């Protein structure tokens, strides 16, 4: 049961990564991100209401877990996802997803320290394999710009009007700022996942946990980043396609979060996070097939992805 819910979370998160890469050009992230958060709140609120009506029971509030749900939501729905969406836009879905795989590594350490889920020697080896894979997938082949033609009469350089061909492709690291933001986002996700899953273990209400976290994340974004009036005007002027894509993104992400929290009722938190965060397993091949390799995914990237897959599989089976 837990493994199936974690796999469902993986499919939903992966679909969202690809969706964001399509939605962002149609509607900027400043507005799109808030639409996704609002969709989180509305959809999860409807789920909570439906659960109460179908079960026909009240809810005995437990304040400790409720606070944990809110803290977890700030870490995931606000900070983690905000930084992750920015990395998808700046680095592309495949490499952003590959950096996001550090989420389970952080979660494994946090859950080991604070929840008591111990990492064995084999798990450390699998983590090393994932880190090597991450290094390979974040090496981007680029060609240096061709030099500008030298002016007539220049003392040196190519003949007038001649532009030398570009040199061979070089492999360079992604900008440190973008990588750092992606890693901070992954760490925030890990903290939020462990906190909320721990809360769900104390109070088995994963849907409510998703709703409370979404409300907390949305309020934080509204207070820190935007004005309601400007948002309403921007949404009215936006492309309808962009509005609907970001709204769907919110449905996907909150559904994935609820599935993950429900999964950790049956399996260790670290295992659930590992499965749900193995995004390159789905994102890289789909991105290559549907986007015609616009991200310049190379053999090196593929090897890195395979190492990530092997490391994640090892962590899952260890």
| Residue 200: CA count within 13 A, CB half-sphere | 30
Range of the domain at 77: 2-54+65-142+171-317
Contact between residue 253 and residue 11 where contact means Cβ atoms under 8 Å apart:
no
Output the tens digit of pLDDT for each of the chain's 318 residues. 888 899 899 999 989 988 988 898 888 877 888 899 899 999 999 999 998 888 777 778 899 999 999 999 999 988 987 788 788 777 776 677 667 778 878 988 899 888 888 777 887 788 778 778 877 876 655 444 444 444 444 444 444 444 444 444 444 456 677 788 888 998 998 999 999 999 999 999 999 999 999 999 999 988 887 666 677 777 888 888 999 999 999 999 999 999 999 999 988 898 888 788 777 778 778 877 776 555 566 777 778 888 888 887 787 676
Total domains in the fold of the chain: 1
Asked, for residue 104, whether it belongs to a domain, the answer is: yes
Asked, for residue 249, whether it belongs to a domain, the answer is: yes
Asked, for residue 151, whether it belongs to a domain, the answer is: no
Asked, for residue 166, whether it belongs to a domain, the answer is: no
Q: Cα separation of 168 and 170, whole Å?
A: 6
Contact between residue 225 and residue 30 where contact means Cβ atoms under 8 Å apart:
yes
Asked, for residue 158, whether it belongs to a domain, the answer is: no
Q: What is the pLDDT of residue 39?
A: 95
Q: What is the pLDDT of residue 147?
A: 47
Asked, for residue 150, whether it belongs to a domain, the answer is: no
Q: Cα separation of 195 and 96, whole Å?
A: 23
Token output for 88: 């998808």
For the entire predicted model, the pTM comes to 0.78
Neighbouring CB atoms inside 10 A of 234's CB total 17
Contact between residue 167 and residue 198 where contact means Cβ atoms under 8 Å apart:
no
Q: How much is the CA Rg of the chain, to the nearest whole Å?
A: 22
Token output for 99: 């950096």
Q: What is the pLDDT of residue 205?
A: 94
Asked, for residue 13, whether it belongs to a domain, the answer is: yes
Q: What is the pLDDT of residue 161?
A: 44
Asked, for residue 152, whether it belongs to a domain, the answer is: no
């Amino acid at each position: 049961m837990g493994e199936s819910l974690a796999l469902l979370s993986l499919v939903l998160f992966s679909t969202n990564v690809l969706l964001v890469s399509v939605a962002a050009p149609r509607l900027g992230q400043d507005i799109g991100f808030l639409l996704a958060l609002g969709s989180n709140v509305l959809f999860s609120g409807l789920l909570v209401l439906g659960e109460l009506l179908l079960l026909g029971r009240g809810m005995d509030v437990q304040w400790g877990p409720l606070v944990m749900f809110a803290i977890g939501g700030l870490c995931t729905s606000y900070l983690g996802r905000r930084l992750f969406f920015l990395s998808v836009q700046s680095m592309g879905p495949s490499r952003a997803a590959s950096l996001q795989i550090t989420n389970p590594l952080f979660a494994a350490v946090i859950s080991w320290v604070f929840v008591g889920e111990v990492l064995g020697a084999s798990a450390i080896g699998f983590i090393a394999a994932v880190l090597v894979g991450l290094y390979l997938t974040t090496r981007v082949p680029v060609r240096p710009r061709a030099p500008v033609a030298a002016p007539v009469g220049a003392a040196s350089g190519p003949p007038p009007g001649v532009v030398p061909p570009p040199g061979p492709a070089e492999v360079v690291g992604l900008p440190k700022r973008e990588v750092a933001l992606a890693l901070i986002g992954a760490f925030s996700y890990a903290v939020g996942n462990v906190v909320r899953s721990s809360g769900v273990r104390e109070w088995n209400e994963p849907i409510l946990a998703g709703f409370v976290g979404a409300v907390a994340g949305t309020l934080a974004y509204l207070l820190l980043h935007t004005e309601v009036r400007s948002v309403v005007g921007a949404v009215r002027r936006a492309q309808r396609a962009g509005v609907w894509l970001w709204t769907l993104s919110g449905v996907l992400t909150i559904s994935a979060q609820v599935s993950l929290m429900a999964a950790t009722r049956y399996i260790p938190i670290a295992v659930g996070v590992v499965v749900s965060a193995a995004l390159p397993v789905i994102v890289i091949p789909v991105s290559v097939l549907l986007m015609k390799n616009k991200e310049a995914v190379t053999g090196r990237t593929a090897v890195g992805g395979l190492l990530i897959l092997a490391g994640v599989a090892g962590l899952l089976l260890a």
